[in-house]
Amino acid sequence: MQNTSASAQDPAHPARPDASPGDEVAAPPRAAGAALAGRVLRGARAPRAVVIGSGFGGLAAAVRLGVRGYDVTVVEKLDQPGGRAYVHRQDGFTFDAGPTVITAPFLLEELWQLCGRNMADDIDMRPVAPFYRIRFHDGATFDYTGDAAAMRAEVARLSPGDVEGYERFVRRSEEIFRVGFEELAHVPFGSWMDMARIVPDMMRLESYRTVYGLVAKHVKDDRLRQVLSFHPLLVGGNPFSTTSIYSLIAFLERNWGVHFPIGGTGALVKGLVSLIEGLGGSVRCGAEVRRISVEGGRARGVELASGERLAADVVVSNADSAWTYRHLVPPEARKRWTDRRIERQRYSMSLFVWYFGTRRQYPDVAHHTILLGPRYRPLLEDIFEKHVLADDFSLYLHRPTATDPALAPPGCDAFYVLSPVPNLLSGTHWPTTQERYRRSISALLEATLLPGLEGALASSRLLTPQDFQDRLLSFRGAAFGPEPVLTQSAFFRPHNASEDVERLYLVGAGTHPGAGLPGVLSSARVLDQVVPDASKLV
């Protein structure tokens, strides 16, 4: 297969996007002090880029555009940057709202390198072990780590007959990574030809199988099948319908580890904002975009809810892709992404998240625990296919204070627990359901990992599918944009270079390659190939 991304060949050491010979764009600044030089091209005023939204995808896009000579303004609806990675500080606790499992750190490091800086100078990234402690419904546990021998031993403990099949699965996930991540994640997929080129590899790697189908081909034990197939849930996919390409996540974790920054994920957001500002750009919070101005089929800027207009040479939307087309791009400018088409897409699950602090500590609880419920496939069917809120659940429990005790007052622990739930198609009335649902989760945690929980609560807040829609402006309250099924991936996902509007670009979970930090950081990387050089616009 042809690799169209020069910098995607070695994801461990991604090269900075090279300027072609003869490009007039100022070379990407190699030192923070030289950064402002990137804004002025041969004495001319730098072209303006407006980025709508400050999720990881938007912030990464802003860094890359700043490095390439654009004068960048990020406009964010909320009062703080980060999007799903917003940070709630209350009662002395620091709660990272969203991403906690940090994989593919090289994608973040590359952003610092592009600015001539070292991420390690700003961010104290710690490896997390085990990656996950998986707790089955009967109380048995499985420690999922990056250590090959330890994993073999865990597999043998659970199902001795599956060790060989497990090894085959690991080798397959590496093969899938070599194609799915190294060759596909950074390709724009703007044409049918891009798609046609990958078909032979997709067939060879059995992409027509689902993640669960691929796992089940290699191992027999039901519990092991769950352990090896839950990864798509991290990016909003149902293991029983997500293409097996997503098995690459297993290799990504195994090879580069799972990390957590001291100070929490918010430290990464702060670091990225400082890169943008170091390049002369700015992040304006409390600025909601109401409309993308389109004239003559080309994006010309944005109009804020306040009525203020910001002119721009390029507009990048990090807002939810469905929301961007449905509510920000005027209908007369949309031929491809009509309301009907947007409504016919399948959207990912949503999440119920309970952030809580305890006035005591639970030192035996790992940083990341997955508590599997009594049902696996039927529960996922309830969530993804039937859109009903079940009485049972499988949970992910986050205890960041296992790695950074400073995220809670002395003697306390900070947590969040997340339950995958259907998006708003379920019709659940969350304002009247949320407390009952929280209590049933609390009862389960109290009976399993966190004895005395209700009596030890010192802080509490909730995030429901309704908040995903109302606060984060996500269509149908989906937590991860369009569901990552084969027919909504790559060419079939909203493109990074808008199919409808010139000079409008999309980054983030709802565009290619998809959700999760590696996905949204890669979407920003694609912009280097589709956004014209700043020199061409002056």
- CA 323-328-333 angle, to 5 degrees, is 115
Pick the stretch among 168-176, 191-199, 434-442, 509-517 that binds ligand FAD (CB under 6 A): 509-517
Pick the stretch among 121-129, 380-388, 443-451, 513-521 that binds ligand FAD (CB under 6 A): 513-521
Among 229, 508, 527, 537, binds ligand FAD (CB under 6 A): 508
Pick the stretch among 168-176, 275-283, 403-411, 516-524 that binds ligand FAD (CB under 6 A): 516-524
**Helix ranges restricted to H, 279-338:** 321-323
> Is residue 537 at the binding interface for ligand FAD, with CB under 6 A as the rule?
no
Query: C-beta of 268: minimal distance to ligand FAD in Å?
Result: 10
Separation CA 29–CA 298 (nearest Å): 29
Separation CA 180–CA 198 (nearest Å): 10
Q: Which two tokens mark 130?
A: 């085990």
Interface mask (CB under 6 A) for ligand FAD, residues 310-339, using x and -?
--------xx--------------------
List the interface residues with ligand FAD, window 215-234 (CB under 6 A): 234
Query: C-beta of 535: minimal distance to ligand FAD in Å?
Result: 27
Range 163-180 burial, b when 16+ CB lie within 10 A, else e = bebbeebbebbbebbebb
Query: C-beta of 57: minimal distance to ligand FAD in Å?
Result: 3
List the interface residues with ligand FAD, window 118-137 (CB under 6 A): none
Q: What is the DSSP letter of 209?
A: S
> Is residue 288 at the binding interface for ligand FAD, with CB under 6 A as the rule?
yes
Q: Which two tokens mark 328?
A: 């920000």
Pick the stretch among 79-87, 170-178, 216-224, 243-251 that binds ligand FAD (CB under 6 A): 79-87
Q: How many residues bind ligand FAD (CB under 6 A)?
A: 36
Q: State the pairing for strand pair 259-261/141-144.
A: unpaired
Q: Which two tokens mark 83?
A: 């999007």
Residues paired with 126 in a beta bridge: 260
Range 136-161 burial, b when 16+ CB lie within 10 A, else e = beeeebbbbbbeeeebeebbeebbee
> Is residue 515 at the binding interface for ligand FAD, with CB under 6 A as the rule?
yes
> Is residue 353 at the binding interface for ligand FAD, with CB under 6 A as the rule?
yes
Separation CA 520–CA 508 (nearest Å): 4
> Is residue 479 at the binding interface for ligand FAD, with CB under 6 A as the rule?
yes
> Is residue 303 at the binding interface for ligand FAD, with CB under 6 A as the rule?
no
Range 254-289 burial, b when 16+ CB lie within 10 A, else e = bebbbbbbebbbbbbbbbbbbbbebbbbebeeebbb
Residue with the CB atom nearest ligand FAD in the bound state: 55
Residues that bind ligand FAD in the complex, under the rule CB under 6 A: 52-58, 75-78, 83-85, 98-101, 234, 288-289, 318-319, 351, 353, 418, 472-473, 479-480, 508-509, 515-517, 520
